[in-house]
Chains A and B, each alone.
Chain A
Amino acid sequence: MTLVDRRLLCEAGDVAPGGMLKIQPEGLDPILVCNVDGKLYAVDDECTHAIASLSEGRLQGNIVFCPLHGGSFDVCSGKAKSLPCKQALRTWPIEVADGKVYLLLK
């Protein structure tokens, strides 16, 4: 049996549809929680191209645009969608229970 470490990230209501929230869990790199049409996704907050916080960029549907060079990622899959971003963004499994968003760590 695999033990899953659940880490509270935020309240589900903290991230409105179309919104993003940067969270700094202890011992981990900052995580970005995105609300795409009512469904929440968690990805690394730092752009894989340069050193920039995606939370300071723009979320359009399921695509987040980096504030530094305008490269983009699909926050559902983590896939890089436009240059200069080539490397995928790390996606994190989450669970929403009782209005709270948990990060699932194995």
Chain B
Amino acid sequence: MQHGHVGRKRGGYLMHRARLIFQDGAELSVPVEAGQTVLEGALAVDAPLRYDCCTGSCGSCVVQCVDGTTVVDSTGKVPVNADELAEGLRPACLTRLSSDATFEMPYPLNAAPSLPAKHSGVIFNLRLAAPSVALLTLKLDRAEGLTFQSGQYVRLAAPGVGEARAYSIASTAAELPLIELMIRLVPDGKMSRWVQDTAKVGDRVRLQAPLGSFGLDDRAHRHVFVAGGTGLAPVLSMIRSLRGRGASALLCFGCTRRQDLFYVEELAALAASMPELEVRIAVMEGAEGALRSGTAVSLLDPTDFESDTVCYLCGPPPMVDAARKTLSAHGVPAGAIRAERFQPGG
């Protein structure tokens, strides 16, 4: 990081400026006072920085620092690892400025999705896709005014389940008022128990949407997706929204065991209907036939990447970390890698 300009004193406080460059080239400059985080400074002037938890957990506010010196509060949770910090990724909710600084947002200023709002709806469809994965389709009562970007997530509140949980949206905005979610079923998870034992078509639910900043870089001509387990959901939405856009896409999808694998037929049908899409699937245990043995990351090949390829990672943190290392070894620059860091609970 280069040193930026010396801060100015305003009303006795040292102040720096954060220059925010959005994916569509739009720029904003916001004042960040001493003691303020970049996110607090941006929100104080209503700059549309995406955020959710403000506690370093969700990763929604992670931006790329390209210039300036920053201090990241690491006393609590930090949603990026040491390698990602070294590459310039900064959670805006934990980042303070020691100089003027420039950040790149992984999303456009225009057209932005609608602001997060609370919605209600009913269960439209619910089925087990594998013993450990449920596909839950919700029908919102009112979807007017709601738009989301493929890759974003919702916070779902189910009746009798105390804490609302976050799930990425697998469908696209074109399918609204329907929203499809992939729910990983874990032993003794409250939401898992609700899905397995209680939930039925017609039941009412509430949700908050849209949330998060994971999304396509529409400047790229080739998109490579690496998804593990229910990390498939946001990636699927992104792939579905690529249809007919002229870009090529590769999906590397992996599950741990053969019996955990889901959505195989749907992915085959999707690939058959999208000539620009190639799908590779692997399982670590029980591979046979067209299934390869290994992880989603092991499906990547050095020849998969062109100069303007952007890669998207969603899955358990070890998979995301392994994918970053492999992509780096294949010469993919850090700035061309996007990861969804949110790990849904049970």
Contacts and interface: CB of A to CB of B under 8 A. Distances in A.
A86 B164 CA distance: 19
B52 A51 contact: no
A84 B54 contact: yes
B208 A71 contact: no
Contact of A68 (B118, B164, B207): B164
B43 A83 contact: yes
Contacts of A56: 162
B163 interface: yes
Interface in B31-55: 39-40, 43, 51-55
A50 B208 contact: yes
Interface residues of B, number: 18
A70 interface: yes
Interface in B9-59: 39-40, 43, 51-55
A52 B53 CA distance: 12
A67 B118 CA distance: 18
Interface residues of A, number: 12
A69 interface: yes
Contacts, number: 35
B93 interface: yes
B51 A51 contact: no
Interface in A21-68: 50-53, 56, 68
Given A50-B155, A50-B164, A68-B163, A86 B54 contact: no
A50 B119 CA distance: 11
Contacts of B39: 83
Interface string B47-75: 00001111100000000000000000000
Interface string A73-106: 0000000000110100000000000000000000
A51 B51 CA distance: 15
B206 interface: yes
A84 B52 CA distance: 7
B122 interface: no
Nearest to B60: A84
Contact of B54 (A51, A52, A53, A83): A83
Interface of A: 50-53, 56, 68-71, 83-84, 86
The 4 closest A-B pairs by CB, nearest first: A84-B54, A51-B164, A51-B157, A83-B54
Given A70-B54, A83-B93, 12 more contacts: A50-B155, A51-B118, A51-B157, A51-B164, A51-B206, A51-B207, A68-B163, A69-B52, A71-B54, A83-B40, A83-B51, A84-B53
Interface of B: 39-40, 43, 51-55, 93, 118, 155, 157, 162-164, 206-208
20 contacts: A50-B52, A50-B155, A50-B208, A51-B118, A51-B206, A51-B207, A51-B208, A53-B162, A56-B162, A69-B52, A69-B54, A69-B55, A70-B55, A71-B54, A83-B43, A83-B54, A83-B93, A84-B51, A84-B52, A86-B43
